[in-house]
Amino acid sequence: MPEIDPPESGNRVPSSVEEALEIASTNFKPLCHDGTPASVHVEEFDIGYLVYATFPPTEPRSFGGSHLIISKVDGALTFVPNFPRSRRFPFTASVTIPTLSVGAARPMAHAV
């Protein structure tokens, strides 16, 4: 059976933090309040790269905006909200989100 190539996403797939920063430079351009470009940093994690802005200490603190995640699999770009550290989950493929359990567990119905 012939090997089938995966569909092309049209995005470049980074293989290093430097390449992720280069890709981000055309897609993620955060600005300080005075209009100057903010510093952009990249952190590698298991399935991609997290790209985020840092601002000078004199910059007023505000929450909002977004971070950019670049997939190591297909180069897909995903913007995620910027939450304070106390409200963030770690960026990893093995994240388990806690759930609240009310009453007995019931199987979910599947649509046909």
53-104 pLDDT, tens digit each: 988 887 776 666 789 999 999 999 999 887 665 655 555 444 444 444 444 4
12-39 pLDDT, tens digit each: 999 999 999 999 999 899 888 888 898 9
Instruction: List the chain domain ranges.
Output: 17-84
Q: What is the mean pLDDT of residues 39-48?
A: 94
User: DSSP readout, 1-38?
Assistant: -PPPPPPP-SSPPPSSHHHHHHHHHHH---B-TTSPBP
Task: Give the alpha-carbon dihedral of 92, 97, 98, 101, to 10 degrees.
Answer: -150
How far apart (Å, rounded) are the C-alpha atoms in residues 84 and 48?
Answer: 21
- Do residues 69 and 49 lie in contact, with contact meaning Cβ atoms separated by under 8 Å? yes
Strand partners, 66: 81
